[in-house]
Structure 1
Amino acid sequence: MSETMVLGIVKDTLVTALKVSAPFLVVALVVGLIISIIQATTQIQEQTLTFVPKLVAIAAVGLILGSWVLHQLLSFTERIFEIIATVAK
């Protein structure tokens, strides 16, 4: 296994991880920001108020994008197994 192959695997791993996690992180960030703005304008400083909307939003994203996430992870796994098969020969 060459150094270029290892770097390619690491790059592919990081790109796949970013593609899979980005929608969840962006939704959590946006919902948290919106709730924070609402809390600041209404002066309600309850810390647990942001938890439930974030949880619901992330669950909705999981339901909507679940098949896409699964496809991305399966595609990555297939590429890794192909690399393992070529190295084992």
Structure 2
Amino acid sequence: MNAQMVLTMGQDALWMMLMVSAPVLGVMLVVGLLVSLFQAVTQINEATLAFVPKLIAAIAVFALAGPWMLTTLVEYIRRTIEAIPSAIL
């Protein structure tokens, strides 16, 4: 195993983490922005108003994108495990 292989594996891991977390983070960012905008306009500063919509949005994203996320992670882990013999040599 040389340095180039280690760097490639690390880069692939970071890219996979970014790709899998992007849907959840993106939706949470949009929902948080909309709730903050609503709170600023109406001057309602209720903590549950900020928490509940984010929770519902996260559950919805995991329900919709969860199978894709799981399949992507399983495929990445499968490729990584299959690459172990070539890394040892």
Query: 1:5, 1:87 → 2: CA distance?
Result: 8
Count of residues in correspondence between the two structures:
89
Query: 1:11, 1:87 → 2: CA distance?
Result: 16
Query: 1:72, 1:5 → 2: CA distance?
Result: 21
2:5 maps to which residue?
5
Query: 2:75, 2:85 → 1: CA distance?
Result: 15
Q: CA deviation at 1:86?
A: 1.9
Q: What is the 5 A alignment of 1:10-89?
A: 10-89=10-89
Q: Structure 1: which 5+ residue stretches go unaligned?
A: none
Taking structure 1 as the reference length, the TM-score comes to 0.94
Q: CA deviation at 1:60?
A: 0.3
RMSD between aligned alpha carbons? 1.0
Q: CA deviation at 1:16?
A: 0.3
Q: CA deviation at 1:47?
A: 2.5
Q: Structure 2: which 5+ residue stretches go unaligned?
A: none
Letter matched to residue 87 of structure 2 = V
Structure 1: 4+ residue segments shifted above 4 A: none
Q: CA deviation at 1:49?
A: 1.4
> Which range moves more in the overlay, 61-70 or 45-54?
45-54
